[in-house]
Every structure is written in structure tokens, then in C-alpha cells.
A = this chain, B = another copy of it.
Amino acid sequence: MQAVAKKLDEQDCLASFREQFCLPEGVIYLDGNSLGPLPVAAKQRAVEVVTQQWGQDLITSWNKHAWIDLPQQCGEQIAPLIGAAPGQVICCDSISVNLFKVLSGAIRMQPGRRKVMTTSDNFPTDIYTIEGLSEQLGEDRCELVLVDEESIEAMLDESIAVLLLTQVNFRSGRLLDMKEITRTAHAKGILVVWDLAHSAGALPVHLDAHEADFAVGCTYKYLNGGPGAPAFIYVAKRHQQQFKQPVSGWMGHASPFTFGSAYAPAAGVKQNLSGTPAVIAMSVLEAALSVWKDVDILQVRQKSMAMGEFFLECLRVLELDSVLPCVSPSAAKERGSQLAFRHEHAYAICQAWIEAGVVADFRAPDRLRVGFAPLYISFQAVWEACEKLKCLIEEQRYLEARFRLQQTVT
């Protein structure tokens, strides 16, 4: 497999992007689906925004360095990666806060309907946000409905106001069919919110073409914006007049610097801003996003699918496929850019693998998650990671790691 890997790397048209990242020596990083690594441009920007802009230019930087434009600027850099025409994406807050805004606004647009449906194995925050909104508004205005991922379309009916789906399942990596589901939902008068946490930067997304209504997403995974980097929000142009989110803050006002006492939402997607933008984080994100201006997202998808298949083949060759059964969809086109494996001691295996220099992650209760970020991972690194996995499983090194258990976060 080493020779195959070498060949694949030689043919890799994305190989040169690796130079744009700071990666630690001797580490194979298969966790970009959780926290992307540091882009060189982001490292430089962090010093500049803190030392020069904040330190030297102080308050004048709002104009001098266009801090005030960062939310829109970052949004417009993300837009082409998720298939959005200009004027529909803006960066702000966290996914959780943005979900709250979008769901609140969407349900208001559906008088007479109160159900908000999502999948029972969606990422917890997506479910919790609906619960929180339901508790706030009352069940007569917002009711959480959970459905199995397999039966989403079958369960759609005219009683549902909003359908919230994460395009790529955070545990299994399963990729939902945005086009088909959105079409089916629309036929029943349902608005669809897409959570792109595991999609943006991992695969081509077509929000406009597939007529998505709203979307949210994070920038610290495949977009490499940094730990806890600001999230984004998409509101389709056709809804921007009618949509109204409740977390009204001064930065979402049509004219923030008149300091008037009556709220008038800014036109377009900008009304989604609430407080003062997180300048340092957003400036770092803006630099991180510059990597993408030369990236063909179709090539990213091709390499990502090839890498997933190659990883599975390595496991078969190493006779690990029965030890670590894959619980992701078997067809590459039905997966995002990650694979999940079930093992009783998945957490311990993950820890032992990290100690051996391969970073992946664990998801309760028993999943080992392996992410493939095509901009900086090589096929040879994937093969080496598999060899290390084989070794630690044969030597049962993970049993020892079990005694040093400590919960890991992403």
C-alpha cells in the first residue's frame, strides 16, 4: 500500500496546499473535521491584528483596518464554497446562537404551524436549540419533533413548519441529499435549515441551486478558522425581506451609529449581527479563508472520497476491518469527509493512537472518528496512520491507555 500511496501523492493536484499550513512535526492529523490546523496566513494575521491593529492603531482600526466590515467580508469569502451568491452569508456568533436566530425567524414565517423537525441523532446543539425555543415560546408555538435519519422524507407533512438538518452526520459521516430533501419539504410548505458544520470546506454545497431556505455553519473545522472561530449564517435572498430574527443588537441595526432608540433591522443578511464583532477571531478567520481562493472544491471532494476509500482498503489489507467495523455509509458519495468505526474501547484506542502520533477523535459512546482534510493530508500519511493503528491494536496498547482516560473535546 505504501507504493500505492506514493503514487497517489504524486498525482495529487492539491499537494501544494500543505505548505500553507503550520503542522506539528511527526503528527498525522486526522481530526480536521473537529479543529482545522493553523494556516500560515492566520498565524501572521494573529500577530498583526493584535500587535499592530489593536496595539498601535487602537480604536481607529475600526475604519483604518475595516474591522467593521469583517463579518460581511468573511461571509462573502465563505459564500462560493457553499454555493451562495453574494449578499446572503455573514459571519457572527456561534452555530448555537445562529441556530436560535434562524429557527426563531423561520417559525415566525410559518403561521399556523408549530412543529420543528430534526433527526434524533443530530448534533446535540441542533436539538437543544429547538428545545430551548420550544420552552421559551411554549409548545403551542414551537414543538420539537425527532425523526430517524432514514425516514426524514417519509415523515414530512403539512403540519411541519421547519425542518432542521445537518448535512453530514457528526458521528457517522452520512451525507444527506440536500436537493431531494429540500424539494420534498418545499412541496409540503416546509422551510429547511441546513447545518453545514461538517460540509463547508469538505465538499461542494449548493445552497442556492438546491433552494435551501437558511443555513448555519462553523468555520473551525474544514475552514481552519481557529478554535471557537465565529460561525456563519445564510438567509436566502428571497426570504430576507420577511425574515426577522429576535436577537436584535446594535450591529444588526440599519444605521448603528446614529444610536437611535428604535430598532430598524439592516437590509439583507446583516440584520443577523447582534453585538460587536469578535474582531481578533474574525480577522484570523479572514486570513484563514484566504487559502480557499485558489482551491477547487470539486478537487477537494475527489481527493476526500479517494482518501476515505484508501483508508478502508488499508484497514482491509491490515485485517483491521472486522476489529473496527465501519459504521459510515459504504458508498463514498453518501459520506462527508470522515469515517466512523465502532469499538468497545474506541476511546482508549483513540488515546493510544494520539500517543503514537496520529490524531483522530472519539464520539460517545463507542465511535472512533477519522477525518480527511484534503488540503494538508497525504495518502502516505494515511497509510502510516493505519500501520500505527494496526500496531497498537496488536500490542493491545489501548488497554493501558484506558487507565488514563480523560474526556476529549471538539
- Nearest chain B residue, comparing its CB with the CB of A121: B261
Residues of B within 8 A of A53 (CB): 227
Most buried by B among A95, A121, A136: A136
Residues 355-388 of A at the B interface (beta carbon under 8 Å): 359, 361, 363-364
Q: Contacts A94-B274, A409-B62: A259 and B29 contacting too (C-beta < 8 A)?
A: no
CB distance from A168 to the nearest CB of B (A): 16
Residues of B within 8 A of A275 (CB): 93-97, 125, 228, 231
CB distance from A94 to the nearest CB of B (A): 2
Which of A43-51, A155-163, A306-314 makes up part of the contact surface? A43-51
B interface footprint on A123-137 (CB within 8 Å = 1, 0 otherwise): 111011101110111
Residues 259-292 of A at the B interface (beta carbon under 8 Å): 259-263, 274-282, 284
- A124–B256 touching, CB < 8 Å: yes
How many of these chains are in the complex?
A: 2
- Tell whether A2 is near chain B: CB-to-CB under 8 Å: no
CB distance from A5 to the nearest CB of B (A): 23
- Tell whether A24 is near chain B: CB-to-CB under 8 Å: yes
- A127–B59 touching, CB < 8 Å: no
Residues 95-132 of A at the B interface (beta carbon under 8 Å): 95-97, 100, 104, 108, 120-125, 127-129, 131-132
- B226–A280 touching, CB < 8 Å: yes
In the docked arrangement, what's the CA distance between A86 and B328, Å? 45
CB distance from A251 to the nearest CB of B (A): 8
The one of B50, B133, B218, B226 in contact with A246, judged by C-beta atoms closer than 8 angstroms, is B133
- Tell whether A151 is near chain B: CB-to-CB under 8 Å: no
- Tell whether A336 is near chain B: CB-to-CB under 8 Å: no
- Tell whether A22 is near chain B: CB-to-CB under 8 Å: yes
The one of B50, B123, B129, B218 in contact with A284, judged by C-beta atoms closer than 8 angstroms, is B50
Residues of B within 8 A of A27 (CB): 58
Residues 339-353 of A at the B interface (beta carbon under 8 Å): none
- Tell whether A37 is near chain B: CB-to-CB under 8 Å: yes
CB distance from A321 to the nearest CB of B (A): 26
- B250–A62 touching, CB < 8 Å: no
B interface footprint on A222-266 (CB within 8 Å = 1, 0 otherwise): 000011111100000000000011111111110011111111000
CB distance from A260 to the nearest CB of B (A): 7
